[in-house]
Structure 1
Amino acid sequence: MGNSRLKLVLNAFVNPAEPAHYLPLARSSNASTVFDFPRSSLDDPEKRQRRRSGSGSVSAGSVAARRRSPSLDDDSRDQSPSRLDADPSSSVDHPHWSRQHRHVLAVVLAVAAFAGVYSLTTPEVLEKARTTVGKGWDRVTGGRFSSIASQEANYFPSSTEVPPGASTWEPACSPSTWSSGRWTPLDPPLRPHTSIWDASPDFHAGACAQNWHRGAWYLGVVPPGTEPGLEGEAQADGQWPMSGYRRRAAGYRWEAGSETCQAEVEQPWLEREGDGEDEGTVKLLQDLVDRGAWLIYGDSLSEQQFFSLSCALYPHVRAVWPYPSMSEWRQVKEEHLFLVPDSPLVKSGKLRVPEDWDYDGSPLVSHVRTDHGLAPDELVSLFQTVHAKSAPRAFTALYPNLTSLSPFSPPEALLTDVETFSPSLDYTLQLFLRPSQYRNISTSISPSYAPSTTPPDALEIERQATRSGSYRALIFSTGAHFSARHFNLPFKPEGGPNAQIEFFDLALREMLNRFARALESASPEERRGKEVVVRPTTMGHDDCHEAGGPLDEEDEKKSSWWSWPDMWRMNEHGANIVRDFNHPLITWLDISRPSNLRPDAHTNDDCLHLSAGTGVVEGWTHYMAYWLRERAAWLDKGR
């Protein structure tokens, strides 16, 4: 079938002028499914040109077209009445019936040809692919689903749950508009020798709920001590001072890119009455109680957002960490913030809490540590799909550098000796959708997740911690750990062939499909109000401690160390992948520009992590709180 004819057939099923809403395969439908691959957006222009000049466009039917359908084999064609050597009774004795038969047969053959071309994308064949290679090709080739049966009630999401336009909706203050602002200096500036809390204007209480480890590092004070002291005043008991670098970093406020954004997103966090809380804190806490908790799923940068929230929401929350910490850096597998019953906001009635609220089993914010979004064994299994014999041509077109590599022997040799911290994605999805039910955080390969590291008392603490939980948003971010530090994959940060970036693309597509399938399989009650938000990773800056202040514009040239150039590409790819996936409940929230403008706001001992309290990490919270609140209001109107 030629390209023009193929387009005509496809147009009967999908209107290419309108982006199709994500419609997973129905659990009780045998409707055929068209697999629509996204535009090529995965490489630099030179690589895209090479791809265009190569094999041409890629379709999901490229492999299926080479297969011979049972209805089109030689035997069946030999018995066709349209052949001169067929049974003579069919054409000689019944000429009128023969013309009708030929017409009907032509239609049947056309339909059969179409079915043959796209047989790889039927639910039955996709399921066979999953059992054959461990992963469905639909998960890793970048497509999105649309269906000729999209109007059937058994397809998710229904219009009663998610109104049309959910995947393209934006609030009055869009992420791009909010991010287009600038950092403005405080007037008057902070004076030298101020305290760390005065240099953390969002942390009103002068303390943090998460206070058991790494607090000095999160706040940008090193070497680490129990509590940070004043700038320049090292103390004999092991406490260390705040540096001038950290104080200067707190001397700026984010001015959003429009008056609407400033009024709606930033201003609520700036106004306080006496010792009372600002409007932004109260609104966020009320939304967490009314709409559901945030589940932050990511690496140490996401961990910093959890810590920041534990400071910004203190003394209204307390922290719990069920599992023992990991490695010499004491990373935490999972941690939660709970509402405190004697919070001043609860006592005063400014925060409305249901009478039966479970203060010990309903987290407001949780964080699950993951370096890559997938556990080590999941990453190894995912890489094995690269060399599966049944891989369609679309796969090799998307991942040419990965597919050119030889298999690892043993498969675990993909991983370096640096331990990867992450539970399985299934564990996190179970927590997100069914927090009161059993889940197992143990995994293979990673020593920190061996069963011996999660004693029975820790498992019981974790089970009780989420017994009444209800999550609204899964906030995911990764990128920094897709590097030669963790994977034995070739890369050229200066822009050449890069298998690290392709593996990031592969892992993100795998995760998006598993997010979507988990939402599809959830009950309406489990799914109600859920959102998956993907946040771009944050850039490091060369010689950050020499920076004199914020940048006016983003500058990739200032992020040339380590694998930081790759992270720019990963963010670009991630934005395209999530957008092309087109799921109404999964959003790429591009709010990275404000942090990319701050080479002066990193921690004192590295140039990637950001100091909590300087307003940079807190800005993520400001905008996410606004976006989720506006999103909920829009969804309520559309139902």
Structure 2
Amino acid sequence: MSEIQMIIDKQRTTTWSPPRSFKFTRRTSLKLLLTVFITFTVLFILSNDTPSPLHRKSSSQGCPPTSYTNGSWIYNPHNATRMEKKDDALFFSGFEGCASSREYYWHLAADKEDQWDRFPRAHSYEWVGQCGLGPIDPELIVKHLVEDGGWLLVGGMFVSRYSMAFGAQFILDSVTENHFFSLSCLLYPHVIATPKYTEGGSFDRGWPQNLYLNPSSPLLQHKHISFPDGFDITVTPLVTFRRIDLLFSQAELLDIHRSIYPSPPQAQGFKLFSDEPVWTLALASYLDLFTSPLPLGNYATMVVSTAGHWTTTLFSGYHDETKADSGYGIDPGLLSFFNEAMTIWAREVQAVLWNQHRSNLRFGRPAKKKKRRVLVRSYLPGHEDCHAAREPWAEVQPFVWNWYNWGYVDAFNRVFETVLVERTRFPDIHYLPIDRPGRLRPDAHTTGDCLHIMTGAGVLEGWTHYIWHYVTHEIV
């Protein structure tokens, strides 16, 4: 028996009795009660002493999305040097490195020297909401992804034929992919990423990107992680990103549209989609991935985001040049179809989750399997003339030129939120309106456009921090 175990056993078996010279009297009892009262009073005052907002700890009362997003960006500089080389952006972020090799310096917004004057100020702000989450702990997040289940990130970006003037990067990349890349930096060196884009060859943007536990992680060396049965660090992802722009395949959306509108109000020859490029999957395909068992899958949380892809350039059947004031047909036409499609999406997803929950029951009791849930992250529009900005906003500003469908993203978000408000129908699908911190950061975009978000400025990292908090503290 170890020395530590002997001490523990001794503590368990030893009972306390007062010394022979000690006598309980009415007077000593009153003194003891008074001492206890004073001690607890002091501890209560100390525990409720309001800390600095930049060091506020997680509230025992919880931190719902509305409280988290009701805040502001506080200037908290910690880098005094100027940017002189690309890798300085990583240093300013506070990351040791990034596991993903995909468009590395573009994600860090370090690929254009004429925008280096944005650093290090872009990395000098901290989000302070009405409730604090405490400092972000990458090791705790890695432990959560292994023990509680991984994350499947599903989403894409806005695509428009009118955006081609901004270059291929704007057309083909994804805000959700920005989030994945940020995770690969935040969790480094505990994770490795695939594919390796530095090895050359061609890669389709619809292919999955994964984060796996690094066999050389210090967490493994110190044995701080309890692995689920069947977990294999060589094949079980912690995080997977899939480029799925519409949450349905185009064929599925065509079928849905025909079922809702057998005779479209538009003229004969109606065609729902244009030839604009889009990356998407059938719903069943990525739900099969989400629910795949160990060792191939260990997902417990699917995070989805959509809205920016629902434009009348892609959904050309709704495009109407005479309706410039309503998004060229977005309102009410495309918004109405979006409502119908997302209602069907939520119904189908919840049915799969219910089936999963039932399969986890053993003799009427829950088996030792994770309960899966889906989070819908509110979509984030871009900022007009973003590269002229050098600091956050205090309040969300209205659009001047109303580029693309950005002025209607709030409407799409409200539609999705309204669909999910019936908690009894969709108890395992949660809407997270956490876009406001990003709406206040016109200074935090990548170099090539005003939609995608740079890694390290706090917007993407804030998504990770809050999603982790929500699934570990807010969901009972």
Q: Same fold (TM over 0.5)?
A: yes
1:214 aligns with 2:72: no
Give the match for residue 308 of structure 2: 480
Give the match for residue 415 of structure 1: 273
Residues 554-569 of structure 1 aligned to structure 2 (within 5 Å): 554-557=396-399, 560-569=402-411
Give the match for residue 164 of structure 2: none
Separation of aligned partners in 2, 1:332 and 1:416: 19
Name stretches of at least 5 consecutive residues in structure 2 with no aligned partner: 1-59, 157-173, 362-368
1:282 aligns with 2:143: no
CA offset at residue 502 of structure 1?
2.3
Give the match for residue 325 of structure 2: 494
Separation of aligned partners in 2, 1:435 and 1:499: 40
1:187 aligns with 2:77: yes
1:529 aligns with 2:357: no
TM-score by length of 2: 0.73
1:245 aligns with 2:118: yes
Q: Secondary structure at the match of 2:90?
A: coil
Distance 1:485 1:597, change over 3 A: same
Q: Secondary structure at the match of 1:626?
A: helix
- Which of 409, 413, 416 matches 1:574? 416
Give the match for residue 265 of structure 2: 404
Q: Secondary structure at the match of 1:614?
A: coil
CA offset at residue 255 of structure 1?
1.5
CA offset at residue 221 of structure 1?
2.8
Separation of aligned partners in 2, 1:554 and 1:334: 34
Distance 1:286 1:593, change over 3 A: same
Q: Secondary structure at the match of 2:360?
A: helix
Identity among equivalent positions (%) equals 29
Deviations 1:181-210 (A, max 9, x none): 110112355432250112213x2x1x2111
Name stretches of at least 5 consecutive residues in structure 1 with no aligned partner: 1-169, 224-231, 233-240, 270-279, 390-402, 437-466, 635-639
Separation of aligned partners in 1, 2:421 and 2:73: 29
Separation of aligned partners in 2, 1:507 and 1:407: 23
Residues 298-309 of structure 1 aligned to structure 2 (within 5 Å): 298-299=155-156, 300-309=174-183
Separation of aligned partners in 2, 1:354 and 1:417: 45
Letter in 1 for 2:319: P
1:426 aligns with 2:254: no
Separation of aligned partners in 2, 1:175 and 1:407: 45
Distance 1:287 1:419, change over 3 A: same
Give the match for residue 508 of structure 1: 342
Separation of aligned partners in 2, 1:482 and 1:320: 29
Letter in 1 for 2:90: W
Separation of aligned partners in 2, 1:383 and 1:302: 27
Distance 1:310 1:249, change over 3 A: same
Give yes or no for contact 2:155–2:245 (8 Å, CA) kept in 1.
yes
- Which of 614, 622, 638 matches 2:465? 622
Letter in 1 for 2:103: R
Letter in 2 for 1:249: A
Separation of aligned partners in 2, 1:528 and 1:307: 26
CA offset at residue 405 of structure 1?
2.5
CA offset at residue 507 of structure 1?
2.2
1:371 aligns with 2:249: no
Give yes or no for contact 1:322–1:334 (8 Å, CA) kept in 2.
no
CA offset at residue 361 of structure 1?
2.0
- Which of 192, 213, 224 matches 1:318? 192
Separation of aligned partners in 2, 1:362 and 1:537: 28
Give yes or no for contact 2:147–2:225 (8 Å, CA) kept in 1.
no
Deviations 1:116-169 (A, max 9, x none): xxxxxxxxxxxxxxxxxxxxxxxxxxxxxxxxxxxxxxxxxxxxxxxxxxxxxx
Give yes or no for contact 1:218–1:307 (8 Å, CA) kept in 2.
yes
Distance 1:425 1:533, change over 3 A: same
Give yes or no for contact 1:474–1:533 (8 Å, CA) kept in 2.
yes
The structure with the larger Rg is 1
Q: Secondary structure at the match of 1:612?
A: coil
1:552 aligns with 2:394: yes
Distance 1:533 1:408, change over 3 A: farther
Distance 1:530 1:171, change over 3 A: farther
Letter in 2 for 1:307: F
Give yes or no for contact 2:64–2:474 (8 Å, CA) kept in 1.
no
Separation of aligned partners in 2, 1:571 and 1:183: 23
Deviations 1:457-503 (A, max 9, x none): xxxxxxxxxx4422111111011111133110226463474423223
TM-score by length of 1: 0.56
Separation of aligned partners in 2, 1:487 and 1:354: 44
CA offset at residue 360 of structure 1?
1.4
Provide the aligned C-alpha RMSD in A. 2.8
